[in-house]
């Protein structure tokens, strides 16, 4: 008699490493969204592994699904893109590390609150490696830092999920031109400032930030692999 054994459920199988890519040059926003859309469909269809894509954008504003038109203070300053991610208005530009995170939450656990907490923890632990104490604030998304001027935002989070695959992700202010945020009310929070590692006195290169982000990501979400090509 030959025994047969059923394959273990998907959640019991070790996941393949997450593709980890870093764009060599700034990426336009429509191009980035198109790449994410394609990769998310492939992940949902089981033909491509999960992915994290690190990049910088040229200066621009994005409007999330909750964006209030009154929070766009200077509509002609930079291009403005409507996007399907959650949240309100956000600035992206040189000196800011954007990480687009495409993970199979159906396999990892379909819990959006837990996923956002994981993204926050990823940022907080990465900032701690540079001696910066990032914090959560009740009722507000993102990561904040206590400064003499009050709490200021150092990292934004905005996600979208399709077929339980995440996309969009996080944006960490390494050394952007903080004046560029003046064209919007960042994330709809009036009276709150924005800051960066450089503004806090941290002289970190983007490559140093990337290395820490990868190390902490692997501790939080699992192993990564550098693929032969970007997403």
Active centre residues (catalytic): 187
End-to-end Cα spacing for the chain:
48
Bridge partners of residue 82, in order along the sequence: 63
Helix 112-128 and helix 206-221, axial crossing angle in degrees, nearest 10: 140
User: How far apart, in whole angstroms, are the C-alpha atoms of residue 5 and residue 37?
Assistant: 37
Provide the 3-class DSSP secondary structure of residue 79. coil
Q: Tokens 């980890």 identify what position? A: 20
Q: Tokens 């819990």 identify what position? A: 111
Angstrom distances, CA of residue 200 to CA of 18, 60, 66, 190 = 31, 23, 30, 21
Provide the 3-class DSSP secondary structure of residue 2. coil
Yes or no: say if 231 and 53 are a contact pair by the CB < 8 Å rule: yes
């Amino acid at each position: 008699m030959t025994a047969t054994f059923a394959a273990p459920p998907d959640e019991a199988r070790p996941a393949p490493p997450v593709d980890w890519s870093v764009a060599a040059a700034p990426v336009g926003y429509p191009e980035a969204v198109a790449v994410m859309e394609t990769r998310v469909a492939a992940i949902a269809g089981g033909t491509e592994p999960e992915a994290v894509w690190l990049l910088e954008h040229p200066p621009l504003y994005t409007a999330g699904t909750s964006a209030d038109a009154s929070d766009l203070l200077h509509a002609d300053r930079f291009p403005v893109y409507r996007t399907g991610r959650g949240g309100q208005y956000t600035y992206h530009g040189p000196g800011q590390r954007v990480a687009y995170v495409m993970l199979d939450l159906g396999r990892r656990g379909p819990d959006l609150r837990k996923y956002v907490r994981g993204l926050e923890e990823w940022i907080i632990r990465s900032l701690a490696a540079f001696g910066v104490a990032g914090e959560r604030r009740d009722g507000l998304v993102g990561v904040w830092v206590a400064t003499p001027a009050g709490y200021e935002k150092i990292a934004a989070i905005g996600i979208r999920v399709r077929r339980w695959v995440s996309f969009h992700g996080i944006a960490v202010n390494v050394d952007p031109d903080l004046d560029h945020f003046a064209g919007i009310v960042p994330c709809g929070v009036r009276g709150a400032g924005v800051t960066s590692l450089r503004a806090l006195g941290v002289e970190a290169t983007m490559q140093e930030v990337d290395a820490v982000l990868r190390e902490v990501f692997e501790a939080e979400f699992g192993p990564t692999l550098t693929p032969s090509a970007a997403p």
